[in-house]
Amino acid sequence: MRLKSVCAVAFATALVGTSVGALGSTQSLRPVLRPAEAPAPVVSDVTVVASAIRPKLRPDRAVAPLIPATQIASNPGFERWIRGFEQRARAQGIRASTLQAAFRGVQYDPDVIRRDRNQSEFTKTIWEYLDSAASDTRVRNGKDALRKHRRKLEAIEARYGVEKEVVVAVWGLESAYGEYRGKNDIIQSLATLAYDGRRGAFFEEQLIAALKILQNGDTSPRNMTGSWAGAMGHTQFIPTSYLAYAVDFTGDGRRDIWADDPSDALASTAAYLKRFGWVKGQPWGVEVQLPRGFNYAQANRKVTKTPGQWAQLGVVDMRGRAVPNYGRASILLPAGGQGAAFMIFKNFSVIERYNTADAYVIGVGHLSDRIKGGPAIQASWPRGDRALTFSERKELQQRLTRAGFSTQGVDGRIGPKTIAAVRAYQRNQGLVQDGYASLSLLKRLR
């Protein structure tokens, strides 16, 4: 299991695993699949958090309430929670002045809870997501952004060893190159989510981290804006990831990922990817052709071979040649045997630290390739299919388990255990074992 990681809250989606940039991968929700140039911020699934030793308040140092009740929206439960939280925050080194400034004007925000509750029904197919992620508009805007910021991006690449096109692609998916950074008050959003309790411990951890950022002087309370779920800045770091990985690239003494100048944010993204093992010169993946009669059981992240070994099995690039030897690789079929196939390398897993959804990783990788001038994905997709809804995904898991192919839980997420159960069912039924959780498979189970 991955460490918690970076930059954005991975919002739930139908298809695609889980995701960086923000919420911890140990609880990975899937990223919201965003419209072409107005992406909802991602809260990552990849948040590595430095451990902290928490000092205890001495009994004789108990403090009176720091935040006047007049500053809190008329929600008695929220007000009581704030009273308890301020003591816990003080025990972790947050000063009274920081609390007072941060909570000035903060209110309980029911819209944040509404959006949190509605995540599970956000569904798109992989091809719909990629149509948006690497749209002509996003590619064109990415090339413009690269041209505009080339000097600083080349300096970032030289320092961290992460290709500038990859950094720009993350920027493009997370905030449409800085156009949609989010306007929610981060303290208000995180306090609301922590009080709500569904993932209270996680969001309280993020709230404490946000207060530490303010206390460090990197930004001001009302300038600390971002997504409703706590992701911040041009590349949507959540607070714990910010504390662990953000950098001051401009040298002004602040790690300012909120400024109109994206330098610190872009460098922080490169630093994050470097930290998790980015290999310069290695692609995230290469679109490939599979031979007739390919054993789809080989399309498994646990099955790795060199490109030469894959070529011996008939797996070649779209020009019919063996893929260059970039290292050991797996075969990924994001839409089963009826869609595109990719040979994926270590850098796929590095992007996955930012956001663990396969669709997101392919989106970043493919967008970066297009910004470099590469072609669109050449294979066709099963565009007649639709994504399963959240309730249908749970039904699929229930029916597979009842049929003797346990998914080891019913949570509506199509992860490795559900894919393994699908493969086992397909093998039992004499079907192509591509592990694809399709509507036709659900109908067959019914």
**CA 402 to CA 408: how far, in whole Å?**
11
> What's 395-442 look like in SS3?
HHHHHHHHCCCCCCCCCCCCCHHHHHHHHHHHHHHCCCCCCCCCHHHH
221 and 322 both lie in a single domain: no
Residues 290 and 273 reside in one and the same domain: no
pLDDT for 321 equals: 97
d(CA 288, CA 290): 7
Does residue 48 belong to any structural domain of this protein?
yes
> In this structure, are 152 and 45 located in the same domain?
yes
pLDDT of 74: 66
What pLDDT is recorded for position 197? 81
Structure tokens at 362: 């392919």
Nearest one of 133, 166, 139 to 334, comparing CA atoms? 133
| Residue 239 belongs to domain with CATH number | 1.10.8.350
Supply the pLDDT for residue 120: 58
Please say which residue of 220, 249, 278 terminates a domain: 278
Q: Return the biggest CA–CA distance within the chain.
A: 76
Claim to verify: residue 64 and residue 157 sit in the same structural domain? yes
Q: Return the bridge partners of 337, or none.
A: 335
Alpha helices by DSSP H, listed for 9-109, are 76-91, 96-102
pLDDT, one tens digit per residue, over 404-422 is: 999 999 999 888 899 999 9
Please tell me whether residues 156 and 274 are part of one structural domain: yes
Q: How many structural domains is the chain composed of? A: 3
Asked if 58 and 34 sit in the same domain, the reply is: yes
Strand 285-289, strand 341-344: pairing: antiparallel
In a domain, 184, yes or no: yes
Which stretch of DSSP H or E encloses residue 55? none
State phi, psi for 197 to the nearest 5 degrees: 95, -15
CATH number for the domain spanning 299: value is: 1.10.530.10
Among the listed residues 47, 18, 38, 60, the one whose alpha carbon sits nearest the alpha carbon of residue 355: 18
Q: What angle do CA 335, 337, 339 make, to 5 degrees?
A: 50
Residue 326 lies in a domain: yes
Both tokens assigned to 424? 């086992």
Q: Is residue 337 part of a domain?
A: yes
In this prediction, residue 35 carries a pLDDT of 34
Which helix (H) or strand (E) is 115 found in, with range? Answer: helix 110-117
399 and 270 in one domain?
no
pLDDT per residue as tens, the chain (446 positions) = 333 344 443 333 333 333 334 333 333 323 333 333 444 333 333 333 333 332 333 333 333 455 544 444 468 999 999 999 999 999 999 999 999 999 999 999 999 999 988 765 557 899 999 999 999 999 999 999 999 999 999 999 999 999 999 999 999 999 999 999 999 999 999 999 999 988 999 999 999 999 999 999 999 999 999 999 999 999 999 999 999 999 999 999 999 999 999 999 999 999 999 999 999 999 999 999 999 999 999 999 999 999 999 999 999 999 999 999 999 999 999 999 999 999 999 999 999 999 989 999 999 999 999 999 999 999 999 999 999 998 999 999 999 999 999 999 999 988 889 999 999 999 999 999 999 999 999 999 99
Give Cα separations from 124 to 171, 239, 275 (angstroms). 21, 28, 31
Please check whether residue 268 lies inside any domain of the structure: yes
Q: Say what the pLDDT of residue 121 is.
A: 56
Q: Judge if 356 and 409 occupy the same domain.
A: no
Given this model, what pLDDT does residue 123 score? 76
In a domain? residue 109: yes
- 229 and 363 inside one domain: no
pLDDT given at position 28: 31
Statement to judge: residues 104 and 134 lie in one domain = yes
**For residues 202 and 45, what is the distance between their CA atoms, to the nearest angstrom?**
12
Is residue 437 situated within a structural domain?
A: yes
Instruction: Compute and round to an integer the Cα radius of gyration of the chain.
Output: 23
Examine residue 436 and state whether it is found in any structural domain, yes or no.
yes
Q: Which domain holds residue 345?
A: 285-371
